[in-house]
């Protein structure tokens, strides 16, 4: 079993059990104790799980964010399904915001056939879309956040105060029914909130592995999004809670 598949299976198992042990994971994954321990160390370093004396549990509060390189390795298939469906919301001639993130990068890959105006803080998205002549790309500018390789700060916020777009696709590492969308950095919180304010509608794109986690700064409540795109690994309990919102929930 590939490492990334094991990571996903560990997270899924913890969503069902809340707390588990190395021995239980050995039986569930059918791998050696040494392999499980290495995987748990990796997941703990990424902030996904927390090891205790009694075993291991999901780390619901996350103080830091993963780097782009680390995010790229996680839940690729889910992100591809989410982004393909979300990209269908984009029409020829739209002006859209693509928030920084690996899922929004996948959305960018699915809209290259359309004439569009795209505003983004993400360096990778901007460089990728700049190759397509029918797409007008605007970068936020300002200070670069090393972890996400995207622009943050007051310079970026000033640009958003002067524009109005059709859709803002917002990404998030941390989202939950109780806490909404949160981030570990105050600068990103204000920027994401500004993206939502200047768009006709805001759409959240976030895979289910990030659900039920939260960090220090709140961006928005979930009911502030007109639509939410996530994947089919989202638990039935979470689905029932989220269906109570006025916005549309898309399970891919």
Q: Please report whether residue 145 resides in a domain.
A: yes
- pLDDT value at position 171? 95
Q: Do residues 48 and 83 both lie within one domain?
A: no
Q: Do residues 115 and 145 both lie within one domain?
A: yes
CATH number at residue 9: 1.10.10.10
Q: Do residues 163 and 240 both lie within one domain?
A: yes
Q: Please report whether residue 230 resides in a domain.
A: yes
- Contact call for residues 25 and 6 (beta carbons, < 8 A): no
Look up the pTM and report it.
0.73
Q: Do residues 142 and 85 both lie within one domain?
A: yes
Q: Do residues 128 and 37 both lie within one domain?
A: no
Q: Do residues 38 and 103 both lie within one domain?
A: no
pLDDT band at 214 (very low <50, low <70, confident <90, very high): confident
> Domain range for residue 124?
68-251
**CA-to-CA distance for 107 and 178, rounded, in angstroms?**
27
Q: Please report whether residue 88 resides in a domain.
A: yes
Q: Please report whether residue 169 resides in a domain.
A: yes
CATH number at residue 237: 3.40.50.1360
**Is residue 6 pLDDT above 50, yes or no?**
yes
Q: Please report whether residue 63 resides in a domain.
A: no
Q: Please report whether residue 157 resides in a domain.
A: yes
Q: Which residue has better confidence, 108 or 45? A: 108
Q: Please report whether residue 201 resides in a domain.
A: yes
Q: Do residues 76 and 45 both lie within one domain?
A: no
Name the DSSP letter for residue 19.
E
**CA-to-CA distance for 160 and 193, rounded, in angstroms?**
10
Q: Please report whether residue 40 resides in a domain.
A: yes
Q: Do residues 108 and 74 both lie within one domain?
A: yes
Q: Do residues 176 and 54 both lie within one domain?
A: no
- Contact call for residues 175 and 181 (beta carbons, < 8 A): yes
**Is residue 192 pLDDT above 60, yes or no?**
yes
- pLDDT value at position 53? 63
Q: Residue 127: which region, alpha, beta or left (left: phi > 0; alpha: psi -120 to 50)?
A: alpha
Averaged pLDDT, 16-41: 86
**CA-to-CA distance for 223 and 38, rounded, in angstroms?**
39
**CA-to-CA distance for 34 and 89, rounded, in angstroms?**
45
Q: Do residues 151 and 241 both lie within one domain?
A: yes
Number of domains in the chain: 2
Q: State the Cα torsion 67-226-108-251 to the nearest 10°.
A: 80
Q: Do residues 109 and 170 both lie within one domain?
A: yes
Alpha carbon separation from 101 to 68, 69, 170 (Å, rounded): 8, 11, 9
pLDDT band at 55 (very low <50, low <70, confident <90, very high): confident
Averaged pLDDT, 82-108: 96
pLDDT tens digits, residue range 16-26? Answer: 777 788 888 88
Q: Do residues 172 and 117 both lie within one domain?
A: yes
């Amino acid at each position: 079993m590939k490492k990334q598949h094991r990571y996903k299976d560990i997270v899924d198992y913890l969503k069902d059990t809340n707390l588990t042990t190395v021995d239980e994971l050995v039986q569930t994954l059918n791998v050696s104790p040494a392999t499980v321990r290495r995987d748990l160390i990796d997941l703990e370093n990424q902030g996904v799980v927390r090891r205790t004396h009694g075993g291991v549990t999901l780390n619901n509060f996350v103080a830091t964010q993963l780097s782009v390189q680390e995010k790229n390795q996680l839940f690729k298939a889910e992100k591809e399904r989410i982004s393909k469906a979300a990209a269908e919301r984009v029409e020829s001639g739209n002006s859209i915001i693509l928030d920084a993130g690996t899922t929004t990068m996948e959305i960018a890959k699915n809209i290259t056939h359309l004439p569009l105006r795209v505003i983004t803080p993400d360096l990778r998205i901007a460089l990728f879309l700049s190759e397509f002549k029918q797409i007008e790309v605007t970068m936020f500018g300002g200070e670069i956040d090393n972890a996400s390789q995207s622009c943050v700060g007051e310079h970026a916020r000033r640009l958003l105060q002067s524009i109005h777009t059709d859709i803002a696709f917002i990404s998030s590492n941390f989202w939950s029914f109780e806490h909404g969308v949160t981030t570990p950095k105050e600068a990103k919180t204000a920027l994401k909130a500004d993206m939502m304010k200047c768009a006709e509608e805001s759409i959240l794109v976030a895979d289910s592995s990030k659900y039920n986690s939260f960090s220090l700064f709140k961006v928005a409540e979930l009911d502030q999004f007109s639509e939410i795109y996530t994947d089919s690994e989202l638990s039935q309990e979470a689905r029932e809670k989220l269906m109570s919102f006025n916005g549309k929930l898309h399970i891919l």
